[in-house]
A = this chain, B = another copy of it.
């Protein structure tokens, strides 16, 4: 157990230094490595396998709503990026520019896509002629580049992986419906698969996406009480369509502009999983997203029959993502590794267990030890994983509730932000001056105007003028 202790000691405690704890976990759980390219990370097998599961689950949900995948070029000519005024202003300061192809300078420089609205619009302008060509429901899985000054693994890096959906519709209503539909797909995915409760709402004018009419968001609360924007869905109205000339002839043969949406989720979600569920022993993965759901750890594996029995148990667990750790490390070391990597359960099995036709299942989240007969290990383990998934969601949900506060006046608001990390619910007049003042005074930003509105008061928490909306405020990643 000395080894075990040493292994665990290498992580900083969450309470001591949350940021350092996070960095320790992404490295010790072998999710990433730093690269020679400043601000870009290497996603290692344990990290990438989580992304593959996220992709598979989301992609299935997208396709169920009629979405098809495509692939667009990674470069955007400067003139194309400039076609929509707000959009270029939002992105131009943080793009990477390609100026040379081979040995020659380019006639026009191109940026590496920070997002692909302009490419999709250019494409749609050619593809869409008639109402019969609508809707277009396209998505792509790719990497994008944003030249951030300060970076953190998964949360903010110069290159990250994501999906970006881009749709075009005949009517205002259809576009609005799709924007909401995809936000709900995201929210359901986070809650059902990642066991991560989210607040669904709309961004303020100041926080919305460059070029959008409305941006919807899901906001999650991390263990340290900071908010993380976890997915966004944008309604563009016909703004891009007018800039790019995307028109269709309707049933009366009259030309109309299309209405568009876009929506994206990124590898940032892996950061969210770490910061919602992790503990001082490392990562804790919800069973539904875990690349390995249980690891079988043989005890006294050199004794006759132990490894055979471990292999037998593995074969019985055909519905579960399972691995046997038969390396020559000590069981204690293997336990610590399973904990650090966040594998939801481990199965301990040794000569005494085999004698009794049983094994011990240990839950990663509660460390509860459950003795199970080998005759029903498959059924029992599935039950345990299902319960664990639900318990993890419930605990995260309780954490959000315990860390969500109402503020009715500005003194109270400031005191809460200073003393109690979490969400603060407070009314707002919708004037950006108040939003700016709150940020300057407290560091908190408006996370969203929740779809589920409440009337906490009839006055703006900041200026006291008539309130127009409830807002979730908070410090954010």
Q: Which A positions have Cβ atoms within 8 angstroms of B?
A: 33, 35-37, 40-45, 48-49, 51-52, 68-77, 80, 93-103, 110, 112, 119, 122-123, 126-127, 138, 142-143, 145, 147, 158-159, 161
A103 to B147, CA, bound (A): 10
Copies of this chain in its oligomeric complex: 2
Other-chain contact of A35, B36, B94, B123, B159 (Cβ < 8 Å): B123
A43 CB to nearest B CB, Å? 4
Q: List 20 A-B contacts (CB under 8 A).
A: A33-B126, A33-B127, A35-B73, A35-B123, A36-B80, A37-B110, A41-B73, A45-B70, A45-B138, A48-B68, A48-B69, A48-B70, A49-B69, A71-B143, A74-B145, A93-B103, A94-B102, A98-B98, A101-B147, A142-B143
Contacts of A110 in B (CB 8 A): 37
Q: Return chain B residues, CB-CB under 8 Å to A102.
A: 93-96, 147
Known: A35-B122, A97-B98, A103-B93. Is A73-B159 also a contact (CB below 8 A)? yes
The interface residues of chain B lying within 8 Å CB-to-CB of A138 are 45
The answer to whether B97 and A100 have CB atoms under 8 Å apart is yes
Instruction: Please state if B99 and A70 are interface contacts (CB–CB under 8 Å).
Output: no
Is the pair A96, B103 in contact by a Cβ cutoff of 8 Å?
no
Task: Decide if A48 touches B73 in the complex (CB within 8 Å).
Answer: no
Contact check, A68 vs B42: say whether CB atoms are below 8 A apart.
no
A72–B37 Cα gap in the complex (Å)?
Answer: 10
Find out whether the CB atom of A35 lies under 8 angstroms from the CB atom of B72. Answer: yes
In angstroms, Cα B70 to Cα A361, docked, is: 30
Complex CA–CA separation, A126 to B126 (angstroms): 48
Given contacts A76-B37, A77-B36, contact A101 B96 (CB under 8 A): yes
